[in-house]
Structure formats: structure tokens, C-alpha cells
Amino acid sequence: MCGIAGIYDFENGRDIEQECLQAMIEQLNHRGPDGTGIKSFDNVGLAHARLSIIDLITGDQPIHNEDQSIWTVFNGEIFNFIELRESLENKGHIFSTQSDTEVIVHLYEEYGDDFVSQLNGQFAIALYDIKNNRLLLIRDRVGIAPLFYTQKDSELFFASEVKSLLAATKTPPELNHNALDQIFSFWAPVSPQTMFKDVFEVSPGQMLIIENGEVKKSRYWDWEFPQDESYLTGSDDDLAEELKELLVDATRVRLRSDVPVGAYLSGGLDSSTIVSLIHNYTDNPLRTFSIGFDEASFDETNHQNTLIKKFNTKHSYLKCANSDISDEFVDTIWHTESPILRTAPVPMKKLSGLVKENNYKVVLTGEGADEVLGGYDIFKEAKIRQFWAKNPDSKFRPALLKRLYPYLDMSQGAYLKAFFGQGLDKPGHFSFSHLTRWSSTSKCKEFFSEETKQKINTNAFDEMSKTLPEAFDSWHYFNQAQYIEAKSLMGGYLLCSQGDRMLMTNSIEGRFPFLDHRLIEFANKLHPKTKMRVLNEKFLLKKAMKSDLPDSIVGRHKQPYRAPNIPAFFNENTNTYVRELLSPKKLAEYGYFDEKKVERLVKKIEKGRAIGNKDNMALVGILSTQVWHYLFVENFYNTFS
């Protein structure tokens, strides 16, 4: 992964300022520490910060075609570039580098805008067609590589991170109150919104076409599911074998690199699958990295050790203490560029630092398996609640939740029905699968100030519903839940705040075999019961990997990745910035939260009575929003201009 930036001036004949491009790309040095490249034309400028992975010698960007009429800067990897290059050379195209980037300009020559459908990769692409004065901004199918844009006067600015845009526009940023409302609903803004007013992201699977004084949006890919029960047929064994073949190939092509490639190992099924595939089906040296915690409920070290012993992997391990989370939280928000409701990104930042310390630049990870193959408890919960909705007065059906959450006190029937029974009268509503999570998260909004509430002029749920495809209502409810999960939490948070940003802060590229679009398209054609058999999550993946992994890994109860929240900030060594940013003075000055309500929350925390989910989310959300304002609104131009 690298960093890209650029400018398109709608007023032809005005040269792009080199100093502006330089200022933009300097903000992305952490994404590309191996060199920068800048190229300007009559009304377009392109800039690139390089992290050298493929073609270390001749792969500098921007890169052009044979007659220099098409130029590109590119962040990401094209995993099938070898096959694409061979095909293009057979058609007469002449290459001047060994880089995967160069296939982009030749594919565009050959196929026009449709070229993107041939790419297997993760990417943010800016492609400039000089002859037609046409700029394309393209983001990969699922949203691994970030890409943002904004307009000021006659110019459109784009970049891999918002801080690069701020360096160009020199306009003090403002908080987007609607996006804040969405973060406190779904954990992430609804694409294309961002926390910055008038700054937007190129949505996953989308292409922006800038020409003739206009900006047009075109969707070239989306998650699609059968509308007519036309699922893949075949035995479980046959489908499991097909899934495994796809996974093996998705892993192999993601090992293509001119630098060593490692893998994250959490001890869960997903990362263990990737490590197993590398060990059993490739010649790549097996190098793994993991993280642990002092608190047993968060720590998976024993499961990690099971895999390390089985595969004899060369392994590096890091333990994350509560103080680490507090100490590195401000820098984490500098990189997320967005408030977060959990501290989980901070340990992932430390883990990528461990990779860097060991002189690795690339790691494979297991992200996407739960979304693609049906692994989350929220999918199980939706199944139970759909069954319950058919007989909402049943006393037996809500008891099924005990199988999902064994720790629930089933004697609290009134509470269970009030919480899990939300929306039972509308099981066909788009929000049904996620209603319990969203309503729980939304309780944190009680800390919003009256000023914030007044500035929120959209309904978060309505904004989410507007993004759903026309075919959504015709899909199986399980597939609806998968779509929402992929488009909200995965795309907006897991791949962004917890993924790309925490990897790239240490100049590490993450690769995700489970998010190979071929695998997604295959899985989307599977009947839901093949992904989740009764309440057995990722049924087909477990079947596919049963012979390669220990039973203790395949059969273990799913443990979601978590990190300490409140205990990381309030302890015997509470950091000064926590007290300052949560003080009534700063809360009133920034204006986002009700200082009296936050003060009561802090006192509750100090008395040790804030142990619930809402209190933890609220504390992290409030603090991270305050940090965001401090970094970007109050101090960006003082420190970085």
C-alpha cells in the first residue's frame, strides 16, 4: 500500500502548483517512506508516496503508457498482474517496468472504463487520460484502500487520507454532525460521508469520473445475492472443496511480492486458516505475528501457541498493556482521522509496529471471513429473532438465546424481550438483523449536547436505508444481514480505522485472502444454511479446513477480538490529556457533548460502577471525538502547516 494525492482544476489553462502537491504528499510519508513522485499537467497534478513491494527498481510512480497519454498513481496491489501483463503483451502493449501498476494504464487503453472489472486486488487508483482531459478515481470492491476527495472553488482535491486534503485546501476543517450521529449509530459514517464537513470518500466498488466540468459516479461492483432461491447446488463436501481451492489460490496470489510476506495469527479460525494454507499449499516461509493482553478474557495466547507448535512457525509476540492503549490513543486518532467507539485499533497499531521491527512490509490477515462466510453472533441472533418473530408471544423461542449467550440470566424475561425483542413486529424491515446492536450503540447519543442535536439534520437509519440496492428486499434475511455488515462495520471501521490506518501508520501492507472478489461471489451464491448450519457459524469453512487444523481451533467458540476500554484510561496513572479533554471547560469549548452528563459518567467510572457496554462505548467515543477536534480542528494548521 502507498499514498496518492492530486488535484483537478476545472478551469483549464491554470498550472497546478508543485508546492501544493508536495505539501499534500508529505502528509502521507508514513504510507510511502521509500520515495515520492510528482507530475503536473495543464490542469491536473498527480503525487505518489511509495512503499516498495513489487518491482523495487523501476516501479516508481506516476507511471504512463507507451505514448505518455495516460498516467496513473496507484495505492494497493494488483494480484493478477502477471496474467494481465501476459495478455496485454500478446495484444501488442509494450511495458517499460516490471510493476503491477503498469497494467492499469495498458488495460485502460485496451478496455476503457471496463478495465477495472479485470483487476483482482485492493486499490485506490487515480488515472488521467490527457487526450480527453479525463480523471478517474477508483476504489477497490470492498473498501480496503482509502480514497477521499473534496472541492474548493474550481479545484477538486483527492488523497489517500484527509490530512493530505487539509494541507492543500488550507481551510480549517469542521465536524460533520450527521457523520458523528452515524458513528454513534453504526460505528462508522454512512459512505460517502466522513467526519469532515464537505469531505467525501470514494465508496467501495465505485468510480468517480471527472470530465467536462462534471463529477459523475459509477458503481462497477457490489455484493449481490440470489433473488430467486437459485443457490449453488452440490454436496457439502463438494462445496467445501471448491471453497478451499478458491482460498488456496487467493492466498497464493497474495504472496506475490519482491519483499518477505508474513501473517497475523490471532488463534481464531480465520487467521489460523490463512497460516495453514501458507504452510500446506505454498513454498513461502512461514513467519507469523500476534498480540496478547494481560486480561484473560481478551487474550488468545494459548490458541496461538497451538498453531505455532503445529506449524513450527517462526513467531513474534507482543503483549499490550492498558497503559499502552492510553499512551498511544492520541496518535491512533491522528491516523484513524475519525472517532472510534472501541480501543481495539490501538493494539493493532502496536502489532503492525512489531512487524516493522522485524523488517517485514507485508502481512496476510483473516479479515472478511465472518462477513463473507457467516461468522458473527449478530447473524445467529438474527436467525433466532426471525424465528421468534413468527410467534412473538412464545416463551420457548427467546430461550434459544441461551444457546447463543450462555451467560444470560433467563429469569430476566422482561428485559430480554425488551432488548432482543425489538422490531419483532417488523421482521422484514431492513434494520431487523442489526437493530439490537444499533439501538445499543445509539444510547451513547444521550451525551450529545443540545447544540449537536440541533445540527444533526438527517436520520442515521434513513441515510443507511438510502444506500441499499434495489434488490435488497428480495434477498434472504441472512444475506441482507451480510450486506449491511459488509457495508457498515466492515467497510467503515474494520478495514479502515482498525485495518488500513493501523497498518499504514507503520508502513505495513495488509492483504486479505477472504476478501478476494472471486471468493465473495462464490460465497454469496451459497444457501445461508451452508454458511451457518443451525447456529454453527462458518459451517462450510470449518468443513473445508477440518483436515488441516486442530480440532481445538475448528471447534472453539468464536471469540471476537477486543481490547480494554475504560480500564485503559482510568487507573492509578490516568494520562493528563484524558482529564483535560474530558474537563467541563474543554467539553463546553468544543461543544459536541453535554459537560454535565459527561462529568457524571466520569464520576461513575471513578467509583468503579461503569462496567456496562454503553459506558465503555460512550467513554471511548466521547474521548476520541475530543481528541479528533484537538488534532484536526484546533491544532492542525498550527502544527503541520
Residues 295, 180 within the same domain: no
Q: Which three cell numbers stand for residue 408?
A: 444470560
Render pLDDT for 281-326 as a digit per residue (tens, 0 to 9): 999 999 999 998 888 777 788 889 999 999 999 999 999 999 999 9
Alpha carbon distance 194, 203 (integer Å): 11
For residue 433, the SS3 value is helix
Domain assignment present for 456: no
> Beta-carbon neighbour count of residue 296 at 10 Å?
9
> Beta-carbon neighbour count of residue 415 at 10 Å?
12
Residues 211, 243 within the same domain: no
Domain assignment present for 96: yes
State the amino acid at position 57 in one-letter form.
I
Question: What is the pLDDT, as a whole number, of residue 393?
Answer: 83
Residues 156, 117 within the same domain: yes
Domain range for 130: 3-219
Residues 494, 631 within the same domain: no
Alpha carbon distance 179, 160 (integer Å): 19
Q: Is 444 a catalytic residue?
A: no
Domain final position from 219, 250, 284 = 219
Element (H, E) at 566: helix 566-569
Residues 48, 98 within the same domain: yes
Question: What is the pLDDT, as a whole number, of residue 641?
Answer: 43
Query: Which of the residues 2, 20, 444, 496 is marked catalytic?
Result: 2
Residues 141, 212 within the same domain: yes
Sheet of 148-152, strands arranged across: 36-40, 44-49, 3-9, 155-159, 148-152, 200-201
- 10-residue mean pLDDT series, the chain (641 residues): 94 81 97 94 94 86 96 97 98 95 97 97 98 96 98 95 95 96 98 98 98 95 95 97 98 95 94 96 94 82 90 94 96 98 97 97 97 95 93 83 75 75 93 96 97 98 97 97 97 97 98 98 98 96 96 84 91 93 98 98 92 93 98 83 43
Residues 589, 617 within the same domain: yes
Look up the CATH number of the domain holding residue 303. Answer: 3.40.50.620
Strand partners, 74: 125
Residues 580, 545 within the same domain: no
Residues 534, 609 within the same domain: no
State the amino acid at position 211 in one-letter form.
E
Residues 86, 194 within the same domain: yes
Render pLDDT for 16-60 as a digit per residue (tens, 0 to 9): 889 999 999 999 999 999 999 999 998 999 999 999 998 888 889
State the amino acid at position 523 in one-letter form.
A
Domain final position from 184, 219, 254 = 219
Q: Which three cell numbers stand for residue 427?
A: 421482521
Domain assignment present for 350: yes
Residues 536, 633 within the same domain: no
pTM: 0.96
Question: What is the pLDDT, as a whole number, of residue 13?
Answer: 64
Residue 360's nearest CA partner among 505, 472, 236, 261 is 261
Look up the CATH number of the domain holding residue 155. Answer: 3.60.20.10
Instruction: Specify the number of domains making up the chain.
Output: 3
Report which DSSP code applies to 536: B
Report which DSSP code applies to 358: T
